[in-house]
């Protein structure tokens, strides 16, 4: 019995470590890393010396026994799924056999097993949106302009692959109707669609995600409501904002405002000082924002680095020729 408990504690912790490393290096999800590490530590505290001392690999008739299915795990999703299953099965064994000799271990194993079911959903979430986000370096944020759909469609035709609907003065019905029309437009051109602030509207129109300000709903609560597959972005104005957003599992951050902008009245620009700090510390995609256009983008490109993205509002939404303005910005970014 001691050997059985030792083997399954090892098996559960090993499976959790594989999942934890994928969360860290594959997903850049610090929140998942912390949760999986906590499960490992809980199990480690239950791994008694008597269990380890009972270990005797030489007399284990199944030591080294494999299965052909192991050779079929050819991608990260298959590896993570297999190791989550391995940990869950080991936890069930600990729960069943630990009840008589170590009820505390059985209780911890049961709690960890149920927690891992939830974490597995996030670990195996559809990553296609994350991959598309990483490839999108120009981020169009809408403004309340005449012919909104026509302007956005011109930008989409010119190559924009990431659009955010931002509306501050319209009523809820108008916001919903605009967001729904923009969602359909983005679908047609294969672009990601994000809703600013309003999680309810993002859910109502089946958006790809939501962008939150520092005083909006906490990202952790937004994640509970949105589920694991959709994107969450958050504005940041200092290193502490960036670190909190990353710790909360945000998929991207906005960095700015770089220059003063009328879209954020009263907000002092952060300039290049915070931009340099963000470029050195960002572990998720980040988008420079605030007064950017073709005339002042070059120095921002130089400071931000090749991995940065750039968010614009007026440079496209108020341009005489939105398609031409979009193409010029995309060319500048591509040639950086």
Separation between Cα atoms, residue 33 and residue 24, nearest integer Å: 6
How many folded domains does the chain comprise?
2
Local confidence band at 336 (pLDDT 50, 70, 90 cut-offs)? confident
> What's the pTM?
0.74
Domain boundary among 104, 123, 142: 123
Lowest mean pLDDT among 76-80, 125-129, 214-218: 125-129
Local confidence band at 26 (pLDDT 50, 70, 90 cut-offs)? confident
Containing structural domain, residue 184 = 128-334
**β-pair type (231-236, 192-196):** unpaired
Q: Are residues 315 and 174 in the same domain?
A: yes
For all residues of the chain together, what is the average pLDDT?
Answer: 92
User: Looking at per-residue confidence, does 94 or 29 come out higher?
Assistant: 94
Lowest mean pLDDT among 42-46, 119-123, 240-244: 119-123
62 has pLDDT over 70: no
Where is 278: in which H helix or E strand?
Answer: helix 271-281
Q: Are residues 139 and 34 in the same domain?
A: no
Local confidence band at 219 (pLDDT 50, 70, 90 cut-offs)? very high
33 has pLDDT over 90: yes
Domain boundary among 106, 123, 140: 123
Separation between Cα atoms, residue 137 and residue 60, nearest integer Å: 55
User: Looking at per-residue confidence, does 267 or 116 come out higher?
Assistant: 116
Task: Please give the share of the chain, as a percent, with pLDDT higher than 90.
Answer: 81
**β-pair type (138-141, 252-255):** unpaired
140 has pLDDT over 70: yes
Q: Are residues 317 and 178 in the same domain?
A: yes
Local confidence band at 129 (pLDDT 50, 70, 90 cut-offs)? very high
Given this model, what pLDDT does residue 76 score? 86
Domain boundary among 123, 144, 169: 123
Local confidence band at 169 (pLDDT 50, 70, 90 cut-offs)? confident
Residues 130 and 303 sit within 8 Å (Cβ to Cβ): no
Given this model, what pLDDT does residue 209 score? 97
CA distance to 76, 150, 157, 161, 311, per residue, from 153 (Å)? 36, 5, 6, 11, 17
Strand spans (E) along 202-271:
209-212, 231-236, 252-255
Q: Are residues 118 and 266 in the same domain?
A: no
Q: Are residues 115 and 137 in the same domain?
A: no
Which residues are the active-site residues? 166, 235, 264
């Amino acid at each position: 019995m001691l050997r059985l408990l030792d083997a399954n504690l090892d098996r559960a912790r090993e499976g959790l470590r594989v999942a934890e490393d994928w969360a860290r290096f594959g997903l850049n999800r610090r929140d998942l890393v912390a949760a999986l590490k906590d499960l490992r530590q809980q199990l480690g505290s239950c791994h008694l010396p008597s269990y380890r001392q009972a270990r005797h690999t030489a007399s284990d008739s199944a030591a080294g026994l494999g299965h052909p299915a192991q050779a079929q795990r050819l991608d990260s999703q298959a590896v993570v799924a297999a190791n989550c299953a391995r940990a869950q099965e080991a936890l069930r064994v600990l729960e069943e056999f630990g009840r008589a000799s170590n009820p505390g271990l059985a209780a911890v194993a049961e709690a960890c097993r149920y927690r891992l079911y939830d974490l597995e959903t996030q670990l195996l979430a559809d990553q296609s949106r994350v991959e598309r986000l990483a490839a999108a370096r120009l981020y169009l944020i809408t403004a309340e302009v005449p012919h909104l759909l026509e302007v956005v469609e011109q930008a989409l035709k010119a190559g924009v692959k990431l659009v955010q609907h931002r509306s501050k003065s319209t009523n809820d019905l108008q916001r919903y109707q605009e967001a729904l029309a923009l969602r359909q437009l983005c679908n047609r051109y294969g672009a990601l669609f994000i809703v600013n602030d309003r999680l309810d509207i993002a859910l109502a129109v089946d958006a790809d995600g939501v962008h939150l300000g520092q005083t909006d709903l906490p990202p952790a609560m937004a994640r509970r409501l949105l589920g694991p597959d959709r994107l969450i972005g958050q504005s940041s104005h200092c290193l502490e904002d960036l670190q909190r957003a990353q710790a909360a599992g945000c998929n991207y951050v906005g960095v700015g405002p770089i220059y003063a902008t009328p879209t954020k009245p009263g907000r002092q620009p952060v300039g290049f000082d915070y931009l340099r700090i963000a470029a050195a510390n960002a572990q998720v995609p980040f988008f420079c924002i605030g007064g950017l256009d073709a005339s002042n983008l070059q120095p921002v490109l130089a400071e931000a680095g090749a991995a940065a993205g750039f968010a614009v509002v007026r440079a496209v939404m108020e341009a005489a020729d939105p398609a031409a303005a979009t193409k010029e910005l995309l060319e500048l970014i591509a040639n950086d």
